Chain A
Amino acid sequence: MSGTDARVLTISPGSGSRASIATFGALVWSGFRRYATYRQATAAGAFTNIVFGFLRCYVLLAVAAGAPGGRPGGYDTEQLATFVWVGQGLLAVVGIWGWTDLSDRIRTGDVAADLLRPIPPVTAYLAADLGRGLHGLLTRFVPPVVAGAVFFGLREPERWQTVPLFALSIVFAVVGCFGCRYLVNATAYWLHDARGPLGFWTLASGVLAGLYFPLRLLPDWLTVTLWVSTPLPGLLQTPLDVLVERDGPAVQAGLVVLQAIWAMIILKAAQIVQRRAERKLMIQGG
């Protein structure tokens, strides 16, 4: 740009943490806007969530009816219905599946544009993903929950701290899930195409996050092992157990702390992997 304006790079006077927050906020908004563009897809997604909600709910209620004492995994029928329907709502918020932005950009070489920005890619993608999650919360969360409330009746929390803990748990679930997806996508840096790891992820996350069935149906030792040694239960099972108050107040809060620790570990791992990838990076294409 010719003229005086081009001679000096002008950074806004508020550079520092305030400007960082503004930048992060703008990126969150961009993630929100991107998903808000596709209204029909949003409606179709919510409808699909509801249809599968019925399927899952009836299966679990049938399991409950056949279980001795009628409480499989320690849930009563109202808790199970809540687990399923809120879980269907959270699916799109957490965004377990379908995110291939990073691996696609690595495959095509477009990731070069991400690296040419003055923001670390993990931060930029995280912000956009939070925007995506927020969009999911406003559009995809409500319909299945309403459907569940109308057709099955959902459990209302009894403790005051449940709702704030649930809200916090959703944030950690989104961050943790983002980290996992980032890591799976980042395999494309080495493999050039992440379809294999993505397929494996789809299967593993569905089972081990508690989507296909509540993890509490598994033997206790296995449940505990999964919870402590993998981040996956933190993606769905933790927020749902927190909401349905499956455990006492101490365990309820403890689960969220564990989830937070895992989210931070995974995010850090994503940063480390990204930095390693940059060192060996070979941007594809001419």
Chain B
Amino acid sequence: MIDMRDLRKDFVVRVKAGRLRREKRTVSAVDGVSLAIERGEMVGYIGPNGAGKSTTLKMLTGVLSPSSGDVRVCGLEPVPQRTKLALRIGVVFGQRSQLWWDLPLGESFRLLRHIYRVDPAAHRERLKRCRELLDLDEFMDTPVRQLSLGQRMRGELTAALLHGPEVLFLDEPTIGLDVVSKQAVRSFLGELGRGGDVTLVLTTHDLADIERLCRRLVVIDHGRVVHDGTIEELHARYGSRRRLVVDLDTPLPPGFTLPGATMTGTEADGHRVTFTLDTIAAGAAVAGLVGAAAVRDLSVVEPDIEDVVAKLYTAPR
């Protein structure tokens, strides 16, 4: 569905090099990205600010021409065949709008039907579904400029889907949304993904989006892919460990060690201890502890994706 081979985008910037002189310098925003995405996949595309996510998305949608490399979306070359491709993809930008500012939402949808020349029955059917799933009815007649961000985003999602795209690109679709709106957008996208007809490419800084929606995670930094795989693989690769947090009635005896685990924290005068489970299973660790001290309470903490990604972003290159 999407095929990129050694995709690059270089920008030439002029830097001050003296009182009047300016030097040209080439900056690679995307530096040889190769990816293949199959039909029906849901891919999270993440990276720190300025990593090249949006630049990649722009090249995939045909609004920016690559400096070099090969790219195909739905079998089409995005830039030369942009208008053809536009009929087959949907794009949602969290930070900009494709709706008509002055027109009521419903009017925008009608206009999109004409622009994409969608069959009236198919349009009605899709719109009905979006209205149900995204609760659009209460603001269908409100001009877009008067919508709240959450309402607008639901409108944007609908607008991107009314022509039945094969690929949906989402550029930070939950940015700035409140918890409820985020959940609405996520569950809608989840529903969409389960259908298996639409390929989803999602860029975001909210890793909860990814955890809920995407089985595959592509991490990009400085224009290069630094990880391509599942979230579990990411944890395995960066040595994320589960942690065991134990509340004790009496502190552990001095010099206590738990084979296969590392003590990584002590709080409340030794009444709360945290172990990182390196090779030992949680059950065995608990058994080892019960013999050494009176355990009042305990919890096992799953590795945090945010920590892993933060590690990834700040890792020396």
Contacts and interface: CB of A to CB of B under 8 A. Distances in A.
B73 interface: no
Given A5-B164, A282-B64, A13 B119 contact: yes
B148 interface: no
A115 B49 contact: no
Given A3-B195, A112-B96, A23 B118 contact: no
Given A30-B111, A116-B98, A285-B96, A12 B64 contact: no
B125 A116 contact: no
B84 to A, nearest CB: 7
Contact of A1 (B50, B111, B126): B126
Interface stretch (B102-110, B256-264, B287-295): B102-110
Contact of A120 (B83, B110, B116): B83
Contact of B58 (A22, A27, A37, A112): A112
Interface string A14-52: 010001001101110010011001100000000000000
A110 interface: yes
Given A118-B84, A282-B11, A113 B96 contact: yes
Contacts of A285: 95-96
Contacts of A117: 83, 86, 115-116
B97 A33 contact: no
Contacts of A11: 87, 117-119
Contact of A113 (B97, B111, B197): B97
Contacts, number: 134
Contacts of A37: 102-103, 143
Q: Is the interface of A mostly helix, strand, loop or mixed?
A: loop
Interface in B78-101: 82-84, 86-89, 91, 93, 95-98, 100
A110 B96 contact: yes
**Interface size class for chain A?**
35 or more
B61 interface: yes
B194 interface: yes
A115 B91 CA distance: 11
B118 A10 contact: yes
Contacts of B95: 285-286
A1 B84 CA distance: 20
B64 A113 contact: no
A6 B197 contact: yes
Interface string A118-136: 1110001000000000000
B154 interface: no
A26 B111 CA distance: 6
Nearest to B122: A10
Interface string A252-286: 00000000000000000000000000110111011
B284 to A, nearest CB: 44
Given A117-B115, A118-B83, A9 B166 contact: yes
Interface string B65-85: 100000000000000001110
A109 B96 contact: yes
A133 B165 CA distance: 34
Given A11-B118, A27-B114, A33-B103, 19 more contacts: A1-B129, A1-B164, A1-B197, A5-B125, A6-B164, A6-B165, A6-B195, A7-B197, A8-B164, A11-B119, A22-B117, A23-B117, A26-B110, A27-B115, A30-B103, A30-B111, A112-B96, A115-B82, A281-B64
Interface of B: 11, 49-50, 54, 58, 61-65, 82-84, 86-89, 91, 93, 95-98, 100, 102-103, 107, 110-111, 114-120, 122, 125-126, 129-130, 143, 161, 163-166, 191-192, 194-198
